[in-house]
């Protein structure tokens, strides 16, 4: 139920501990991703409780070298410049996404964020976390805890300060009107053959 994309010279391989390793060619602005083939998850004011968590690592925490996103995205046909753009490594403006983002300017940190396609991206907590090169970190989201209609973000089980309230099912300010699927994507910000690895990811949702 998964598919991968990689620009020229990239690979997706299995590591010694069965993790998936996304490796790029040593060329600026090349990208890759792994994603689901289906999009069964909905986050709206009428949808059920949802849990997401993934255990990932990146080989480089140097500025420019390894922008990435991980979380839930609407159906996408990946290319070198979709869902991430070359200039800065952030989300393409048409993406419907909720999760975590590391842009080119970041080193050991990342952002919690969402974007409704065609609407300005919202950064909830900017520059959070503490990435260490080649060290796993667990990133998670929990929506609608006890009916609060909020998306809560976590690193290694510790909640970040800002939760986002999903106010409707219209998709005007949050990707609440479209099915979402898992995605882990990167784009190179420098001519370095760095890697992104995923040990596991899990998502579950209660039917509304």
- DSSP letter for each residue of 59-111: S--STTT--EEEEEE-----BTTBSB-TTTS-B-TT--EEEEEE-TT-SS-EE
The 10 Å Cβ neighbour count of residue 173 is: 16
Query: What is the SS3 assignment for 147?
Result: helix
List helix spans (H) across 1-64: none
pLDDT at 63: 86
- Identify the DSSP state of 145: G
pLDDT tens over the chain, length 208 residues? 899 999 999 999 999 999 999 998 899 999 999 999 999 999 999 999 999 999 999 998 988 888 999 999 999 999 888 999 988 889 999 999 999 999 999 989 999 999 999 999 999 999 998 899 999 999 999 999 999 999 999 999 999 999 999 999 999 999 999 999 999 999 988 888 889 999 999 999 999 8
Strand spans (E) along the chain? 2-6, 11-14, 20-23, 31-36, 50-58, 68-73, 97-102, 110-115, 122-128, 137-143, 150-155, 158-159, 164-165, 181-187, 195-205
């Amino acid at each position: 139920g998964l598919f991968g994309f990689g620009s020229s010279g990239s690979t997706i391989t299995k590591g010694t501990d069965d993790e998936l390793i996304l490796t790029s060619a040593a060329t600026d602005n090349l990208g890759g991703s792994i994603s689901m083939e289906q999009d069964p998850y909905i986050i709206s004011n009428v949808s059920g409780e949802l849990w997401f968590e993934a255990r990932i690592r990146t080989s480089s925490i140097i500025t420019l070298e390894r922008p990435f996103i991980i979380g839930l995205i609407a159906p996408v046909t990946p290319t070198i410049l979709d869902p991430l753009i070359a200039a800065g490594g952030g989300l393409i403006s048409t993406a419907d996404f909720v999760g975590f983002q590391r842009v080119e300017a970041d080193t050991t940190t990342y952002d919690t964020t969402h974007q409704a396609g065609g609407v300005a991206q919202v950064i909830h907590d900017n520059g959070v976390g503490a990435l260490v090169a080649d060290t796993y970190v667990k990133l998670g989201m929990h929506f609608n805890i006890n009916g609060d209609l909020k998306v809560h973000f976590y690193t290694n089980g510790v909640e970040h300060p800002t939760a986002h309230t999903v106010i409707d099912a219209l998709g005007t300010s949050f990707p609440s009107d479209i099915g979402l699927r898992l995605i882990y994507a990167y784009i190179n910000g420098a001519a370095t053959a760095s890697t992104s690895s995923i040990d596991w990811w899990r998502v579950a949702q209660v039917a509304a």
